[in-house]
Amino acid sequence: MLALYNLLLQIPMGTPNPDDNQKVDLSNPVEIIVFIVIPIAIIALYIFWRGKKKK
């Protein structure tokens, strides 16, 4: 029964695996833009849009 349970929990080949993730490399300008600049811009635009909508 335990062996069957372990077989069902395996991740299929070719699918993203949490163990394969790499850390964010902040020396790469693209990763700084994608992970820092764009989220801050989206939040700022949302706050600006929400403030304009209330007026």
Q: Which two tokens stand for residue 40?
A: 């801050």
Task: Evaluate whether residue 44 is within a structural domain.
Answer: yes
Q: Is 54 domain-assigned? A: yes
pLDDT at 36: 96
Report yes or no on 33 lying in a domain.
yes
Coil, helix or strand at residue 17: coil
Residue 6 included in any domain: no
pLDDT greater than 70 at residue 7: no
Which domain range does residue 50 map to?
A: 26-55
Residue 12 is predicted with a pLDDT of 74
Q: In this predicted model, what pLDDT tens digit does every residue of 9-53 receive, in sequence order?
A: 776 777 777 777 888 899 999 999 999 999 999 999 999 999 888
Transcribe 4-50 into DSSP letters.
Answer: HHHHHTPPPTTS--GGG-----TTSHHHHIIIIIHHHHHHHHHHHHH
Asked if residue 7 is part of any domain, the answer here is no
Residues for the chain: how many in total?
A: 55
Of 34, 37, 17, which Cα lies nearest the Cα of 25? 34
Q: Is residue 55 pLDDT above 80, yes or no? A: no
